[in-house]
Structure 1
Amino acid sequence: MPDVVQDRAGVSVLVCDPAGPPVATTQDALDLIGATFLGATVVAVPAERLDPSFFSLGTRFAGEVMQKFVNYRVRLVVFGDISRHLTTSAALRALVAESNRADHVWFLPDLASLDARLRGDP
């Protein structure tokens, strides 16, 4: 399935195909942001599409990507299982926890969790 814009809980979301091209550079992130000009306000990226360097905070790649989304006022949702990355990095666990308390970047287990979060379910 290609990346598609879907209405999810009343919000226009660009849902990225897990088999799509990897997000390995800030230009790749900007390309996803550019795709939101079709009307989406949220980009949901499967964790497996993110280059492994995203989860290694010392590379600063995650920060660069997240900042691009904030600057363009587009929400970023990373969905899927990132547990193997979390078990090896306290800093990543802290980033995920802090991000999930805010409104710009969320790390969620699946799209159903995104729907619940967009609806404001506790």
Structure 2
Amino acid sequence: MADDIQERAGVPVLVCDPDGPPIATEQDALDLIGSAFLGAQVVAVPAARLDPRFFSLGSRFAGEVMQKFVNYRLRLAVVGDISPHLAESSALRALVQESNRGGHVWFLPDLDALDARLTPAPNP
């Protein structure tokens, strides 16, 4: 499977191939952003494709990547199990909690959770 723009919950999402190239540099993130400009509003990146430095906040790599997505007005969803990283870092746990409260960067267990997040709340 290649990276593919899919409509999920009515939103165009660039769903990245879990077996695709690693995202290890800012340029790798910018390449994804460029691919998303073909019509996506959200980029769903498998956690396994992110360089381990992403989860080590002292490297500042996560902040650099996340800021790029915000600057280009794209939402980023990190999809997959990151529990081993969370177990090692209270700072990462705090970042994930704070990010998931917002609307720009989410850490989600799977694409079903992304679909639920993208589904508009019903009007009362």
Same fold, TM exceeding 0.5?
yes
Match of 1:93 in 2: 93
TM-score (ref. length: structure 1):
0.98
Cα distance between partner residues in 1 of 2:40 and 2:69: 13
1:1-122 residue pairs with structure 2 within 5 A? 1-120=1-120
Q: How many residues align?
A: 122
Q: CA shift at 1:37, angstroms?
A: 1.5
Which secondary structure does the structure 2 equivalent of 1:87 belong to?
Answer: helix
1:116 and 1:86 mapped to 2: Cα distance?
Answer: 22
Cα offset, 1:120, TM superposition:
3.5
Q: 1:96 deviation in Å?
A: 0.1
**Separation of aligned partners in 2, 1:120 and 1:54:** 30
Q: In the aligned structure 1, how far is the partner of 2:90 from the partner of 2:20?
A: 29
Shift of residue 21, structure 1, vs aligned partner: 0.3
CA deviations 1:59-86 (Å, max 9, x no partner) are: 0000000000000000000000000000
Structure 2 Cα separation of the partners of residues 18 and 2 of structure 1: 9
Percent identity among equivalent residues? 76
Aligned mates of 1:72, 1:82 — CA distance in 2: 25
**Alpha-carbon distance between aligned partners in 1 of 2:93 and 2:120, rounded to the nearest angstrom:** 23
SS in 1 for 2:5: strand
After TM superposition, where is structure 1 displaced by more than 2 Å over at least 4 residues in a row? none
CA-CA distance at 1:36 after TM superposition: 1.1
Gaps of 5+ in 2: none
Unaligned runs of 5+ in 1: none
Letter of the 1:92 counterpart: L
